[in-house]
């Protein structure tokens, strides 16, 4: 008999498959905080910059996702760059210009921008 | 500085007892000996919740967890894992807990490392608008588990075992509430999520919903199964548009995935959830008023008993819990009630979410194990008070809570300890106050709020808070009278005893606690007409000192012509005319104007 646990396991496998289908296995994953507080601090614009880089400027091998609030109110908007085999990098107080620099320097050239890191 | 390797040593009580401090020394020595100072960093975390396998060490990147680490293992971990990148399989432990998942992304930052996240486990980690993200982190597995092999009573027993108490503030044992509602014989029962977050400065529930809406739905469905209810209602304030939007999306996605509605996951269990919007009346956070509001009536509380578990929505047995309580339930089911009860103190289990605000370096949303002290929260996580100012007090519990002075900083956060100290746990507001905060003004601020929000049904709250507010206003305006403090105390205690609901019963708390702990400030306001923090405008006096060169700049900006004096001679301010706007002080280039 198929139990609810069997059903949920299948659903999870399918969900993971869809997430991978959206490009999750890219070398770099970028998360932009998109709760009310982050949006008020300007995260929608930051998201736009990343989005455009991927859809219009042909930035490849980057998985972009929104996320809720992690709790760093005074450092919002926050952006995380997670790379397989490396420690996660967390940036705080990111705006349009800084987002563009993260794309150029970190995502394209692998440079971690120390001065914006949340420690 | 981003280190290539981060070695996190659990610094929770359990691991300390098992010698984690010696491990820290051993790692430091080994790293220095191998010359890895630039590339490896040692980090101490709060309790990682794996006390039975302590001491626990986590090595990043890769998030390898080592359990039962002995001093002898340190060299091997450093040589094999840190230097050569080969994790040691025989020491590594496999953990698939729900809690603390945020640790993989945030664990090595000081602000996060001292926290333990159960309710907020997915906040800031997953995409809240995509059910796939929630499913991928074992979402709805707790629901599947109970539908597969747990009876409703098993579920209630787990919640009871966990020891969790209501996170809305009152701290009633959640398991008992579930049992009472389950024991009622009724064809119709309801499950309600109280998301009517109204405390000024509180945003715990909003963040929890915006970051992880599905966990609320799953928690409610679990309760529906446990108590035999088919309908769930989320009562949320209309001022939270994004939270509402995400809940709506989540409900729709859950229905489409057969996780809400008929025959959930192929079982014969039916449960569905709808959203009701509140118009933002603070009193509607009180459960009986909230229920009235859902029924379409005016949001006013009624006396209890009967409690909602017996007669609630539409006079049917109703289980009502706070957002944060709901967010804990899936973890209790999957990680077990026994595990949950290992976190926290004897009487307060689990963690508590706080909105840390006020005069603190790192403001933010935090979740810590019960029993963490206020000092640890403010200094270890909050980073202390900015600008080298002195901390004066901590306000917990919002308009229903109290102000605790510095002497109480070592109070652990749990329901009993905070109450003993003269405040309350409340729903999780925590405001740090420094020397520039006036305690009378703070008390007045909160009382103004509760007085505005009093529904008016019972006289003690409606009239009493108004009179208290009037007295506080005159004290801050320098018109305080002898005996005002006594009057405030008498009124306050009367309101607490005679009010109908929690709003009135707790409204005087900010006033009473500041009188108890900062009586001198009240006396200074009344007797000396002085506000030491310089907040109460009416009590300030602006004076011109002999630094004045008579340039006349202040005279020109004064909006009421209160300043006089001949050119190149010391000016003076007519205190009776002065409106204390401070424009002269801001304008003076010679720091010749002082405020006393």
Q: What is the CATH number of the domain that holds B461?
A: 1.20.1440.230
- Distance between CA atoms of B394 and B379, rounded to whole angstroms? 12
Structural domain range at position B60 = 5-95
pLDDT score for B480: 95
Q: What is the mean pLDDT of residues B119-127?
A: 93
Pairing of β A89-91 and β B364-369: unpaired
From chain A, which residues contact B within 8 Å (Cβ)?
2-5, 7-8, 11-12, 15-16, 18-19, 33, 35-37, 39, 65-74, 78, 80, 82, 85-90, 112, 114, 117-119
Same domain, B520 and B501: yes
Compare CB distances from B362 to A8, A12, A74 and report the shortest one's residue.
Answer: A74
Q: Which residues contact B276 (CB under 8 A, 6 or more apart)?
A: B233, B234, B235, B236, B293, B294
Residues B321, B216 share a domain: yes
Q: Is residue B452 part of a domain?
A: yes
What six digits make up the tokens of B367? 């979740």
Last residue of a domain, one of B310, B340, B370: B340
| Chain mean pLDDT for chain B | 93
State the DSSP H helix or E strand holding residue B42, giving kind and residue range, or none if neither: strand B40-45
With an 8 Å Cβ cutoff, are A65 and B127 in contact? yes
CB contact under 8 A, B61 and A87: yes
**How confident is the model at residue A66, as a pLDDT?**
96
Residues of B in contact with A39 (CB under 8 A): 242
Domain annotation covers residue B109: no
Asked whether residue B110 is domain-assigned, the answer is no
B219 and B322 together in one domain? yes
Return the number of CB contacts < 8 Å for A and B.
Answer: 150
Nearest to A36 among B2, B141, B242 (CB): B242
Q: Which of A107-111, B218-222, B484-488 has the lowest mean pLDDT?
A: A107-111
Res B1: pLDDT: 44
DSSP state of B316: S
Residues B189 and B302 in one domain: yes
Residues B288 and B230 reside in one and the same domain = yes
pLDDT band at B595 (very low <50, low <70, confident <90, very high): confident
The domain that holds B12 is classified in CATH as 3.40.30.10
Mutant choice from A31, A43, A71 vs B, greatest count of B C-beta within 10 A: A71
Q: Do B131 and A74 touch (CB under 8 A)?
A: no
**Which residues lie across from B261 on neighbouring strands?**
B271
Helices (H) and strands (E) in chain B, counts: 24, 17
Closest CA to A88 of A16, A22, A1, A29: A29
Residues B331 and B453 in one domain: no
Question: Is B65 contained in some domain?
Answer: yes
CATH of the domain at B177: 3.40.50.11540
Quote the percentage of chain B above a pLDDT of 90.
82
Report which DSSP code applies to B453: H
Residue B561: φ, ψ to 5°: 55, 45
From B402, B434, B466, the end of a domain falls on B434
Provide the token pair at B380. 């270890």
Give one DSSP letter per residue of B273-339, joined into a string: EEEEEE---GGGGSHHHHHHHHTTS------SSSPTTTS-GGGS-EEEEEHHHHHHHHHHHHH-HHH
Cis status of the peptide bond prior to A83, with omega within 30 of 0: no
User: Do B144 and B257 reside in the same domain of the chain?
Assistant: yes
Question: Is the preceding omega at residue A91 within 30 degrees of 0, hence cis?
Answer: no
Rounded to an integer, the average pLDDT of A4-33 is 94
Confidence (pLDDT) at B3: 60
Residues in chain A: 119
Residue B355 lies in a domain: yes
Query: Residue B45: what pLDDT?
Result: 86
Query: How many CB atoms sit inside 10 A of residue B523's CB?
Result: 15
- Comparing CB atoms, the residue among B60, B210, B258 nearest residue A87 is B60
Query: Is residue B475 over pLDDT 50?
Result: yes
Predicted pLDDT at B75: 93
Q: Tell if the CB–CB gap between B132 and A114 is shorter than 8 Å.
A: no
**SS3 labels along B153-214:** HHHHHHHHHHCCECCCCCCCEHHHHHHHHHHCCCCCCEEEEEECCCCCCCCHHHHHHHHCHH
Q: Using a pLDDT cut of 90, give the percent of chain A over it.
A: 81
**C-alpha B580, offset from chain centre:** 36
| Nearest by Cα to A91 from A79, A73, A108 | A79
- Pairwise CA distance, residues B177 & B284, whole Å: 20
B596 touches chain A (CB under 8 A): no
Q: Which residue of A has its CA nearest to B241?
A: A36
Same-domain check for residues B205 and B326: yes
Residue B210 in contact with partner chain A when CB distance is under 8 A: yes
Contact B31, B78 (CB under 8 A): yes
Number of domains chain B is built from? 5
CB–CB of A68 and B265 under 8 A?
no
Nearest CA in chain B to A88: B105
Q: Does B505 touch chain A (CB under 8 A)?
A: no
How many C-alpha atoms does B596 have within 13 Å on its Cβ side?
8
**Nearest residue of A to residue B354, measured between CA atoms:** A71
In a domain, B429, yes or no: yes
- Rounded to two decimals, the ipTM of the complex is 0.95
Chain segment B154-174, per-residue pLDDT in tens: 999 999 999 999 999 889 999
- Cβ within 8 Å, pair B138-A66: no
Which residue in chain B is spatially nearest to A39 when comparing CA positions?
B242
Average pLDDT over residues A75-83: 93
**B443 and B430 in a common domain:** no
> Domain check: are B211 and B310 in the same one?
yes
Would you call B270 an interface residue with chain A, using a CB distance cutoff of 8 Å? no
B96 has pLDDT over 80: no
Instruction: List the single residue in B62, B111, B267 with the smallest CB-CB distance to A4.
Output: B267
How close, in Å, is residue A48 to chain B by CA atoms?
A: 16
Q: How many helices (H) and strands (E) does chain A have?
A: 4, 4
d(CA B479, CA B471): 9
Partnered with residue B394 across adjacent β-strands are B404, B432
When pLDDT is cut at 50, 70 and 90, the band that residue B2 belongs to is low
pLDDT 10s digits, B372-382: 999 999 999 99
Task: State the maximum Cα–Cα separation within chain B, in Å, rounded to a whole number.
Answer: 91
Q: Which residues of A touch B243 (CB under 8 A)?
A: 36
Q: In angstroms, rounded to a whole number, what is the distance separating the alpha carbons of residues B3 and B353?
A: 30
Nearest-neighbour CA in chain A from B400: distance (Å):
24
In a domain, B226, yes or no: yes
With contacts defined as CB-CB under 8 Å, which chain A residues touch B147? 3-5
CB-based contact B491:B472 (threshold 8 Å):
no
What CATH fold (topology level) applies to the domain A24-116? Answer: Glutaredoxin (3.40.30)
* Orientation of helix B213-227 relative to helix B141-149, angle to 10°: 20
| pLDDT band per the 50, 70, 90 thresholds, residue B101 | confident
Q: What Rg do the C-alpha atoms of chain A give, in angstroms?
A: 16
Q: How far apart are CA B266 and CA B263, in angstroms?
A: 5
Instruction: For tokens 């035999």, name the residue.
Output: B228
Interface check for B109 against chain A (CB to CB < 8 A): the answer is yes
Q: How many CB atoms lie within 10 A of CB A56?
A: 8
In this structure, the answer to whether residues B275 and B297 fall within a common structural domain is yes
B215 in a domain, yes or no?
yes
Q: Give CA B415 to chain center in angstroms.
A: 13
Instruction: List the single residue in B125, B147, B264 with the smallest CB-CB distance to A67.
Output: B125
- Complete DSSP assignment for A40-53: HHTHHHHHHHHHHH
Q: Please tell me the distance from the alpha carbon of residue B422 to that of residue A29, in angstroms, as a whole number.
A: 47
């Amino acid at each position: 008999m198929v139990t609810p646990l069997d059903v949920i396991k299948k659903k999870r496998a399918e969900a993971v498959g869809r997430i991978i289908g959206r490009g999750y296995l890219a070398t770099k994953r970028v998360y932009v905080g998109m709760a009310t507080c982050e949006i008020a601090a300007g995260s929608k614009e930051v998201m736009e910059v990343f989005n455009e880089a991927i859809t219009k400027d042909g930035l490849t091998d980057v998985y972009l996702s929104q996320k809720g609030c992690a709790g760093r109110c005074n450092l919002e908007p926050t952006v995380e760059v997670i790379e397989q085999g490396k420690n996660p990098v967390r940036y705080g107080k990111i705006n349009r210009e800084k987002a563009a620099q993260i794309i150029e320097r970190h995502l394209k050239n692998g440079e971690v921008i120390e001065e914006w890191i949340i420690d | 500085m981003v280190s290539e390797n981060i070695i996190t040593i659990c610094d929770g009580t359990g691991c300390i007892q098992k010698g984690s401090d010696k491990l820290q020394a051993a790692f430091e020595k080994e790293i220095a000996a191998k010359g890895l100072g630039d590339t490896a960093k040692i980090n101490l975390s709060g309790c990682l919740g794996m006390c039975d396998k302590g001491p626990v060490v986590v090595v990043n990147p890769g998030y390898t967890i080592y359990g039962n680490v002995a001093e002898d293992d340190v060299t091997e971990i450093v040589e094999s894992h840190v230097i050569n990148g080969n994790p040691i399989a025989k020491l590594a432990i496999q953990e698939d807990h729900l809690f603390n998942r945020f640790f993989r992304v945030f664990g090595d930052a000081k602000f996060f490392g001292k926290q333990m996240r159960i309710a907020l486990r997915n906040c800031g980690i997953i995409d809240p608008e995509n059910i796939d993200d929630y499913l991928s982190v074992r979402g709805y597995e707790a629901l599947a588990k109970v539908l597969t092999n747990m009876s409703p009573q098993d579920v209630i027993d787990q919640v009871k075992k966990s020891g969790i108490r209501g996170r809305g503030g009152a701290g009633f044992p959640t398991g008992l509430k579930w049992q009472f509602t389950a024991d009622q014989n009724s064809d119709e029962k309801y499950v309600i999520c109280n998301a009517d977050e109204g405390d000024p400065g509180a945003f715990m529930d909003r963040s929890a919903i915006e970051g992880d809406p599905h966990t609320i739905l799953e928690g409610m469905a679990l309760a529906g199964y446990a108590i035999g209810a088919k309908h769930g209602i989320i009562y949320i304030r209309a001022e939270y548009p994004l939270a509402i939007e995400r809940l709506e999306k989540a409900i729709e996605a859950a229905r489409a995935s057969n996780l809400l509605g008929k025959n959930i996951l192929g079982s014969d269990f039916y449960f569905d959830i709808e959203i009701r919007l509140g118009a933002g009346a603070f009193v509607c956070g009180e459960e009986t008023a909230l229920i009235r509001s859902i029924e379409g009536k005016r949001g006013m509380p009624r006396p209890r008993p009967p409690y909602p578990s017996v007669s609630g929505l539409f006079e049917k047995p109703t289980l009502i819990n706070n957002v944060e309580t709901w967010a804990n339930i899936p973890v209790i089911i999957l990680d077990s009630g026994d595990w949950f009860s290992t976190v926290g103190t004897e009487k307060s289990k689990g963690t508590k979410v706080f909105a840390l605000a006020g005069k603190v370096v790192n403001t933010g949303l935090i979740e810590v194990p019960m029993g963490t002290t206020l000092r640890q929260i403010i200094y270890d996580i909050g980073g202390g008070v900015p600008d080298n100012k002195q901390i004066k007090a901590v306000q917990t519990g919002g308009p229903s809570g109290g102000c605790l002075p510095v002497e109480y900083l070592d109070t652990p956060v749990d329901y009993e300890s905070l109450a003993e100290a003269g405040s309350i746990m409340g729903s999780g507001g925590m405001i740090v106050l420094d020397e520039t905060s006036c305690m009378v003004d703070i008390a007045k601020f909160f009382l103004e709020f509760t007085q505005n929000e009093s529904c008016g049904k019972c006289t003690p709250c409606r009239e009493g808070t108004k009179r208290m507010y009037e007295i506080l206003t005159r004290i801050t305006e320098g018109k305080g009278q002898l005996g005002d403090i006594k009057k405030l105390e008498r009124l306050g205690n009367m309101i607490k005893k005679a009010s109908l609901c929690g709003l009135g019963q707790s409204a005087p708390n900010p006033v009473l606690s500041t009188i108890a702990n900062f009586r001198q400030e009240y006396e200074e306001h009344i007797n000396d007409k002085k506000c030491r923090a310089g907040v109460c405008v009416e009590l300030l006096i602006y004076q011109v000192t002999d630094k004045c060169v008579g340039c006349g700049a202040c005279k020109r900006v004064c909006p009421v012509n209160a300043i006089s004096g001949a050119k190149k001679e010391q000016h003076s301010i007519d205190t009776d005319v002065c409106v204390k706007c401070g424009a002269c002080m801001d304008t003076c280039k010679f720091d010749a104007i002082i405020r006393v």
